[in-house]
Amino acid sequence: MRIEVLILLVLLSSLNAFAQSIQSPDGKLSLSFGLTANGEPTHQLSYRGKPVLQKSKLGIELKDQPGFSKGFTLLKTDTSQKDETWKPVWGEVNQIRNHYKELTVTLQQPAHKNRRMIIRFRLFNHGLGFRYEVPEQTDLKYFIVSDERTEFNLTGDHKTFWIPGDYDTNEYIYSTTKLSEIDATSGKAAQEIAFKTPIAANAVQTPLMMKTSDGLYINIHEAALVNYPAMNLMANKQTFSLSSHLVPDAVGNKAYLQAPAQTPWRTIVVSDKAADILTSRLILNLSEPSKIRDVSWIKPQKYVGIWWEMHVGTASWNYSDVGNIKLAETDWASLKPNGKHGATTANTKRYIDFAAQHGFDGVLVEGWNVGWEDWFGNWKEEVFDFVTPYPDFNVTELQQHASAKRVKLIMHHETSASVTNYERRIDEAINFMKQHGYDSVKTGYVGKIIPRGEHHDGQWMVNHYVRVAEKLAQNRIMLDAHEPVRPTGLHRTYPNWLACEAARGNEFNAWSTGNPPEHETILPFTRLMGGPMDYTPGIFQIKRDYYQPGKKEQVHTTLAKQLALYVTMYSPLQMAADLPGNYERFMDAFQFIKDVAVDWDDTRILEAEPGDYITVARKAKNKDEWYIGAITDEQARTANIPLTSLTLKRSYVATLYTDAANAHWENNPMAYQIQRFLVNDQTRLKVALASGGGAAISLRPASKEDMKKLQRYETSR
């Protein structure tokens, strides 16, 4: 050992009253826990010998009593390890290795009746998870968390992909700046979000993606967020330090806990390869196994729906245009229809027929139930009852029609954030679903929360989302939540919770400045770290002026990139979001959406750089088929797609859905081409992606006839 290193070590240990380290199974990551002279817990993380986190403090503050942040002595430490493999009900891969070393530190506070706290660290090959635990003890039973003091002291002014910290929304556009340049008040297009509660100029949300100047990728998030508020991060722009900031409740407290209790896991995924961030299963591994025993009824699915026509304004959710109604007192049949209502019996039948014809599992119908006349922006409690259809929606007839066509109607519960109302009525709403054969529901939380003063991401709401998932599971109903807190791996625990929105979805492209072309290259590195997203891809009619001349809004991708999103944006629930009529105009491209799988045996990230591009190949579950998606930001590029890593054992037919030579997201977004070739494990595809473009590729085994008819793809091209 060099003398400088020795001196440093002696120096470091003299600063700590105590220190202990563990290494990841592959030895690349090293975690040190320490106690300062004041008895403050600290952690420190390094990757291949270089610091990722400098010494950073840990702790939680309690209301009306001394906190769990200093004055600790060490009671004991334990180390252990685990190496197991488990099978998710659905997912990006069909089995997941859970391999880590664990360090458990039990601390006590001699000055405070020896109150105890445990910090549990799990160190994986690609990252760290840790959480606070308050064990059962005589002198601490009920307590209120007033703040959390978790620090992440970074080593420099990293490139950061961030959205503003907010108690109520995650529907922001990402900014990419140095850490020192974070200014959440400059959040792009923030005025387009229905309701928001930004925290401070230096507050950002997790998952937070960063890249160091020497090419290390760092992602900070949390796992298993239950019975606790979500964590935002406050950036110190001088010291490059991030510190936790919990979402408060209506009276300013953060969490009400009863020992034994634990916080969610704080997670840091680290690698020098961007692809490793995307393939890390750390957050899933830290989440509890499925609480649902019989999972046979849970099915990944593709759906269409009465939805986009409302977003582009050719139909309405509301049946009538009276702006002001009282739920209990309105005679719905006497209201004058506005002539634009989307969720009519006839229109729903059209969607059911379309779904049946093209092999979709479900049909979402929004605006089927009474109350949409004044649902938005009034902080009103009694908005929807979730059981009364509008006069022009015949639920019995539609269920018969759907079941004859072997299609499932998907229920829609927009709560308008009146959550007390939803909780009062949810049992009745579930009965209604069961009576009418619904087995999936999309929920929504647009607006200001009731109970008034609560936030979308506070402890009360976090518990609400879980309560809904649990209740639905008991009734064998699958869930897709819009505007909830961002996911943290709970889809492992509640696999009926197929997806969440919880970020700026494709809908913003219909009626706002939209999502910039880089948006979908950032989401997998941020929002999707916690779980699948119902992004609602598949918009073919890119420009809004098709519906209303003069309208400037548009989807900020090419048509081919919309296809690629079915592969790059992982979800077991995927919508074909455009109108049937638009798919009928481009049936050859629609074929990809019909074919693409929603559940996978395996996933390979072939190339990836946050904010720039992603190319992903996935093998369909229990099928000899692969699907590849490649996307780029506003920069045109060539995607390199070697098939060598896909373990292909024969020749396949590759169908390439790509941007036409002159395509461009803004000037010529709908120009695509479709080509078919024979390929095998030696093939290296090179595909040109337009500015804001993408490519989707399907592979299926070649028949004898294909072998005769089709040309082999020439790798030299």
Note the residues at the interface with ligand NOJ (CB under 6 A). 307, 366, 414, 444, 446, 482, 501, 505, 507
With the C-alpha atoms ordered 136, 140, 145, 149, is the resulting torsion angle positive or negative? negative
Residue (72 or 307) nearer to ligand NOJ, CB? 307
Question: Among 458, 39, 485, 62, which Cα is nearest to 258's?
Answer: 62
* Closest distance of CB 511 from Ca ion, Å: 11
Residue (445 or 626) nearer to ligand NOJ, CB? 445
For 672-695, b where at least 16 C-beta lie within 10 A, e where not — what string? beeeebbbbeebebebbbbbbbbb
Catalytic choice (40, 373, 414, 507): 507
d(CA 501, CA 633): 21
Cβ count within 10 A of residue 356:
16
Cβ atoms 117, 104 nearer than 8 A:
no
* Closest distance of CB 410 from ligand NOJ, Å: 12
444 binds, among ligand NOJ, Ca ion, none (CB under 5 to 8 A by kind): ligand NOJ
Question: Among 414, 364, 407, 368, which Cα is nearest to 389's?
Answer: 368
448 binds, among Ca ion, ligand NOJ, none (CB under 5 to 8 A by kind): none
Cβ atoms 100, 123 nearer than 8 A:
yes
d(CA 99, CA 527): 24
Q: Tell me whether residue 279 is exposed, middle or buried, using C-beta atoms within 10 angstroms of its C-beta: 0 to 12, 13 to 18, 19 or more.
A: middle
Question: Among 535, 464, 505, which Cα is nearest to 192's?
Answer: 505
Which residue type does 56 have? S
Residue (366 or 518) nearer to ligand NOJ, CB? 366
* Closest distance of CB 274 from ligand NOJ, Å: 29
Residue (482 or 619) nearer to Ca ion, CB? 482
* Closest distance of CB 82 from ligand NOJ, Å: 38
187 binds, among Ca ion, ligand NOJ, none (CB under 5 to 8 A by kind): none
* Closest distance of CB 664 from Ca ion, Å: 28
Cβ atoms 584, 594 nearer than 8 A:
no
Cβ atoms 193, 444 nearer than 8 A:
no
Which residue type does 607 have? E
Cβ atoms 629, 524 nearer than 8 A:
no
* Closest distance of CB 283 from ligand NOJ, Å: 23
Residue (482 or 604) nearer to Ca ion, CB? 482
688 binds, among ligand NOJ, Ca ion, none (CB under 5 to 8 A by kind): none
Cβ neighbors of 451 (< 8 A, separation 6 or more) are: 250, 419, 420, 460
Q: Where are the alpha helices (DSSP H) in 89-226?
A: none
* Closest distance of CB 110 from Ca ion, Å: 50
| Candidate segments 497-505, 599-607, 637-645, 701-709, binder of Ca ion by CB under 5 A | 497-505
366 binds, among Ca ion, ligand NOJ, none (CB under 5 to 8 A by kind): ligand NOJ
527 binds, among ligand NOJ, Ca ion, none (CB under 5 to 8 A by kind): none
Residue (146 or 418) nearer to ligand NOJ, CB? 418
| Candidate segments 96-104, 392-400, 495-503, 706-714, binder of Ca ion by CB under 5 A | 495-503
Window 501-540: residues binding Ca ion (CB under 5 A)? 501
Residue (501 or 601) nearer to Ca ion, CB? 501
Residue 507 is among the residues annotated as catalytic for this protein: yes
Question: Among 484, 471, 504, which Cα is nearest to 419's?
Answer: 484
* Closest distance of CB 328 from Ca ion, Å: 28
Cβ neighbors of 406 (< 8 A, separation 6 or more) are: 356
Residue (179 or 310) nearer to ligand NOJ, CB? 310
- HSE (side-chain half, CA atoms, 13 Å) at 474: 9
Instruction: Give the CA-trace dihedral at 523, 528, 530, 534, to 10 degrees.
Output: 120
Q: What are the distances in angstroms from CA 225 to CA 12, 267, 306, 526?
A: 34, 12, 32, 16
Residue (103 or 364) nearer to ligand NOJ, CB? 364
92 binds, among ligand NOJ, Ca ion, none (CB under 5 to 8 A by kind): none
Question: Token digits for 504?
Answer: 């700026």
Window 434-493: residues binding Ca ion (CB under 5 A)? 482
Residue (34 or 305) nearer to ligand NOJ, CB? 305
* Closest distance of CB 169 from Ca ion, Å: 9
d(CA 572, CA 197): 31
414 binds, among ligand NOJ, Ca ion, none (CB under 5 to 8 A by kind): ligand NOJ
Residue nearest to ligand NOJ (CB): 414
Which residue type does 259 have? A
Residue (425 or 482) nearer to ligand NOJ, CB? 482
* Closest distance of CB 530 from ligand NOJ, Å: 17
* Closest distance of CB 508 from ligand NOJ, Å: 9
361 binds, among ligand NOJ, Ca ion, none (CB under 5 to 8 A by kind): none
d(CA 274, CA 605): 9
Cβ neighbors of 557 (< 8 A, separation 6 or more) are: 517, 520, 542, 565, 631, 665, 669, 692, 693, 694
Separation of CA 590 from chain center: 25
Question: Among 578, 559, 586, which Cα is nearest to 660's?
Answer: 559
DSSP state of 263: P
Would you please indicate which residues are annotated as catalytic (active-site) residues? 507
Per CB under 5 A, residues contacting Ca ion are 482, 501
